[in-house]
Amino acid sequence: MSSCLLFLMTPRPPPPPLIHADRYPPLAGSANLPTSRRPCPRPGQRHGYLFRCDSSSSSSAPRDRPPRPRQQRQRSQRPGGRGDAVDPVGFLAKLGVTDRAFAQFLRDRHKALKDRRWELCSRFIDLKEASSGFELLGMHRHRQHRIDFMEWAPGARYCSLVGDFNAWSPTENCAREGHLGHDDFGYWFIILEDKLREGQEPDEFFFQEYNYVDDYDKGDNGVDAEEIMHRMKEEYWEPGEIRSRKSQLEMVVKLYEQMFGPNGPQTEEELGEIPDAQTRYNEWKALQKCDSSSLSPSYDIIDSGQPFDIFNVVTDRASFEKFQAKKPPLAYWVEMRKGRIAWLEKYVPTISHKDKYRIYFNTPDGALERVPAWATYVLPDAEGKQSYAVHWEPSPEEIYKWKFGRPKVKGSLRIYECHVGISGSEQSVSSFQEFTSKVLPHVKNAGYNAVQLIGVVEHKDYSSVGYKVTNYFAVSSRFGTPDDFKKLVDEAHGLGLVVLLDIVHSYASADELVGLSLFDGSNDCYFHSGKRGHHKYWGTRMFKYDDVDVLHFLLSNLNWWVTEYQIDGFQFHSLSSMLYTHNGFSTFTGAIEEYCNQYVDKDALIYLILANEMLHDLHPDIITIAEDATFYPGLCEPTTQGGLGFDYCVNLSIPEMWLWHLENVPEQEWSMNKIMKVLVSSNQNMLSYVENHNQSISGRKSFAEIILNSGKFSIGSVDGDFIRASLLKIIKLITFTTSGGAYLNFMGNEFAHPKRVEFPMSSNDYSFRLANRQWELLDKGFHKHLFDFDKDVMSLDENERIISRGSPKIHHCDDTSMVISFTRGPFLFAFNFNPELSHQSYHVGVDEAGEYQLILNTDETKYGGCGELKSSQYMRRTCDKRVNGCHNSLELALPSRSAQVYKLVRILRI
């Protein structure tokens, strides 16, 4: 009895709607704290749980226990909407793979995946928590006039912050061992207290807070703190409840006196025989009814004789509902806070907006200064050698405010790949602002619905195109500030463009002063030690994907870009580098055993599965693209079926195939069957492109430069540029129309940019001559014709959803005539690659009898063609002549180096 009363009279948590269990479970002992003051858990710290009775349950039946934490974790880990039934080898039957060794590899990988999930959940509860490290690590303003800083450096002996704010002193702001030092996992914690202005008194109450981050003031009404506390007690707690909370035993003593009187028995011998529980309860209930002046809550407790269990307690429902209906005194806690105006009058920030800082470590090998791994803005110093982090905390008046929501892609994905630095016409590094005002409107006008940005994440070496990343949470300072990048993303959303980021988690820069290499003085903090920690050919470092804290860093990095910058998706760069210990530099024959042998990094595969599950669970509309030259099986299959969970994978064979033909094979000898085999080898969820930035850097030429500047593609007396440009048109059209729902074009290739890209480096005396785009060519000659053609192709897909339909059905592919025809839904595509021979009457087979309308013709004069087709030839009607195994056929006129797109507009039934 007394134990039950003790439980009920103890301070209880606020009603359920005010417990934000979706973010952090309430910590034990924090029930009487305002929600904004609950201490934040540190990485590696387990959370306490407070169980409560469910008010919706019947008062006469035992309560069901809430699910245990482990059960909650399992449910949160299930990838919503991506298949509920888990089969580690489910996708093999779909692909027709029967290899036993690979199936066993997938089962072993699934077991390792479950173990890795358990490791993560033992530390971070679930994937949401494991990917939210940016909420704690790095530098964050706390509401209690201070800055909190946290960093992971398990190999360091001492940690402090140095910067402009403390005259770069390594001893003033440090993490002290045993007191806000580091935990068992190597996470260091430093508090930077804001400075009290001269003549100001420190706050009287520990929980005093300041709304530094708000753009308006709260609580600056001059109400005295004692008056606030008095109002809180009078309006929230009932008088009896206040008395009972002065001593937890007071109610027990009162109950004892009611049962035995003021001079009741003091020993068990004096007590005598105790009546049964029901009799004691009835007697106590009768006294409660008589004592109408009692101020205690009318909770009815029945002791059934069972072992004490809070879920078996039966209470008076009316009193319980009355308690549940109470509103906690949050309004008073708000009034205890002061606004920004009061904060500025009383405090000076310990570190100001745009202050420079670094982190200082004492290691077994000596003292080190590093740029924090979680820094969100990094700048080089005056000499351009050592970089430093910049504290980015603009005032509420200056902080960027989002104007547009995220758009959704309808149908196909038409991606415009860009590099901000080379997007301008000038021979210099372009900025986010210039890109926003000049390039984004062009992308929208060109008919694309997505922008993919490369080189945005901070990197020291500009000539690396941005792939040797040094600071994973920072936008490149070469192009502008974090707010400049937010405006770029926001304006793109306003134009209806989704923004994709080329993310590099397959390797990292080996720079030790700026990047993560030897971050805490040890060689195996973020990366593998020994040879495995170094890329064989690129001089970069390889992540340690089996380490929980490294996974915490990488998963949080993905979530950071989506949460902070509203990014709509990622292309995971160069997966071959991370999936194999030989970094993908090996001969692949296509044998299935090459995907499950000793060179495959199982931990890297598990990371990709976790990354896709996390992204699609937290952000259902996210887009993930895999760039893997080895076509690892199951890239785009659901993770519940043994796949890696990507939405698209890049077909890297297509640009290599076109490059090989252009450079090595005379145009008259091109094989149509070989071309189509590469284009449609695996059409579903396949992103196709003719060329991206890889085809025009590192000393290579763009396709326009190869075709337009090569004499072997010029014929006859007609203008050579227009004739040669016609080949670019049909290459682009057949690549686009055979893609698996996604297509990519690199910036400038839509109008056949004649120059390759070459970043400033030592080999060209650091020249910017080729590190720009010649936008003035858009209105000149065949460049204008090619842009108009590309724009109409994108518009055609926007209106007709061509590449989001089913896979192409090839009807005709002839190496002799060099003619290809295929259908996709109601559309017929016909290509004549022959550079010399035109066909006036060429029969191609179709499945559906009817009338076909010509909707796109590469030979039209507005596209720089010869215009050989007459208007009377734009509508074609099928005949019953059997061609290519089809019951019906069309008779078409196919000029050389041309392509046509027809739409079935009328079906004829026979």
Exposed / middle / buried, residue 12 (Cβ in 10 Å: 0-12, 13-18, 19+): middle
- Scored b (16 or more CB within 10 A) or e, 796-833 reads bbbebebbbbeebebbbbeeebbbbbbbbebbbbbbbb
**Which positions ≥6 away from 114 have C-beta within 8 Å?**
none
Taking phi over 0 as left and psi of -120 to 50 as alpha, with beta for the rest, 18 belongs to: alpha
Looking up tokens 């093999």 gives: 92
Instruction: Cite the active site residues.
Output: 627
Give the count of alpha carbons within 13 A of 289, CB side only. 5
Which one, of 775, 175, 125, 89, lies nearest residue 442 by Cα? 775
Looking up tokens 């075709």 gives: 707
Which one, of 574, 627, 453, 613, lies nearest residue 131 by Cα? 613
- Do 752 and 877 contact (CB within 8 A), yes or no? no
Compute the distance between CA of residue 903 and CA of residue 147 in angstroms, rounded to an integer: 63
Phi/psi of residue 837, each to 5°? -95, 125
Looking up tokens 């003021």 gives: 262
HEC profile for 344-380? HHHEECCCCCCCEEEEEEEECCEEEEECCCCCCCEEE
**Tokens, residue 383:** 């000499």
Cα-based angle 654, 659, 660 (whole degrees, multiple of 5) = 100
Q: Strand 187-193 to strand 569-572: parallel, antiparallel, or no bridges (unpaired)?
A: unpaired
Q: How far apart are the first and last CA of the chain?
A: 89
**Tokens, residue 380:** 């080089």
Measured in whole angstroms, how far is the alpha carbon of residue 412 from the centre of its chain?
21
> Is 299 strand, coil or helix?
coil
DSSP H helical segments within 30-146, as ranges? Answer: 69-77, 90-95, 100-124, 127-130
Q: Strand 356-363 to strand 686-689: parallel, antiparallel, or no bridges (unpaired)?
A: unpaired
For residue 569, count other CB atoms closer than 10 A to its CB: 25
Cα-based angle 705, 677, 878 (whole degrees, multiple of 5) = 100
Give the count of alpha carbons within 13 A of 424, CB side only. 16
Total length of the chain: 910
Radius of gyration of the chain from its Cα atoms, rounded to whole angstroms = 35
- Do 745 and 689 contact (CB within 8 A), yes or no? yes
Question: Which element (helix H / strand E) includes 571?
Answer: strand 569-572
Question: Which element (helix H / strand E) includes 162?
Answer: strand 158-163
Beta strands, E only, 724-883: 742-746, 809-814, 819-824, 827-832, 839-846, 850-857, 875-877
548-565 helix and 602-618 helix, angle to the nearest 10 degrees: 30
- Do 824 and 818 contact (CB within 8 A), yes or no? no
For residue 299, count other CB atoms closer than 10 A to its CB: 16
For residue 135, count other CB atoms closer than 10 A to its CB: 15
Compute the distance between CA of residue 232 and CA of residue 612 in angstroms, rounded to an integer: 47
- Do 495 and 436 contact (CB within 8 A), yes or no? no
- Do 686 and 738 contact (CB within 8 A), yes or no? no
For residue 750, count other CB atoms closer than 10 A to its CB: 25
